[in-house]
Structure 1
Amino acid sequence: MKIKLLIVLLTTLLISCTSANKHGEKGDKSIAFTKSMNDKLIVPMVITANVRIFGFRHYDYCGIGDPIGFKEIQKFTLKELLDKAKDNDGAAQYRLGVMYDIGYQVAESDHDALYWYWRAAENGDSRAQFLFGMRAMQGTHVKKNLVISASWLEAAHLQGHPCATTQLARLYLTGSGVASDPEYALTLLKQSEKYDHNSIFHQAKIHQNGLGVEKNTAKADELFIKAGRSGHITAQFLNGHRYQLENDLESAKYWYELGSAGHATAQYQLALILIKERVSEEDYLKGISLLEESSELGFAPASYYLGTMIVKKENKTEKDIADSLKWFRLAANQGHFRGMNFIGHYYAEGKGVEQSYSTALEWYLKSLQVENSDSNQYALNQLPNTLRKLPTGVIDNETQSYKNSSLTTPVKKLKHEVVYILERGDSWEKIYSENEDSIVFIKQGIAY
Structure 2
Amino acid sequence: MDLRCHLSLLRLLLSLLLFSLYPLSLHARQFVLVLSQDDLKDAQNDDASSPDSDASWDDDDFGGTHVRPDDELDPGSWRRLFEPSSTPTSTFDDGTLGSYYAAVEKMISASTNGDARMMEEAAAEIETAANTEGDPHARSVLGFLHGMGMMLERNKAKAFLNHYFAAEGGNAQSMMALAYTYSRQDMYEKAVKLYAELAEIAVNSFLISKDSPVIEPVRIHNGAEENKEALKKSRGEDDEDFQILEYQAQKGNAGAMYKMGLFYYFGLRGLRRDHAKALMWFLKAVDKGEPRSMELLGEIYARGAGVERNYTKALEWLSLASKQGLFSAYNGMGYLYVKGYGVEKKNYTKAKEYFERAADNEDAGGHYNLGVMYLKGIGVKKDVKIACKCFIVAANAGQPKAFYQLAKMFHTGVGLKKNLPMATALYKLVAERGPWSSLSRWALESYLKGDVGKAFLLYSRMAELGYEIAQSNAAWILDKYGERSMCMGESGLCTDAERHQRAHSLWWQASEQGNEHAALLIGDAYYYGRGTVRDYERAAEAYIHAKSQSNAQAMFNLGYMHEHGQGLPFDLHLAKRYYDQALEIDPAAKLPVTLALTSLWIRKNYADSLLVNIIDSLPEVYPKVEEWVENVIMEEGNATILTLFVCLLTVLYLRERQRRHAAGEVALPNEHDLPAPH
TM over 0.5: no
Larger Rg computed on CA atoms: 2
TM-score with structure 2 setting the length: 0.27
Higher helix share: 2
Choose between structure 1 and 2 for higher RCO, CA contacts under 8 A separated by at least 6 residues. 2
TM-score with structure 1 setting the length: 0.39
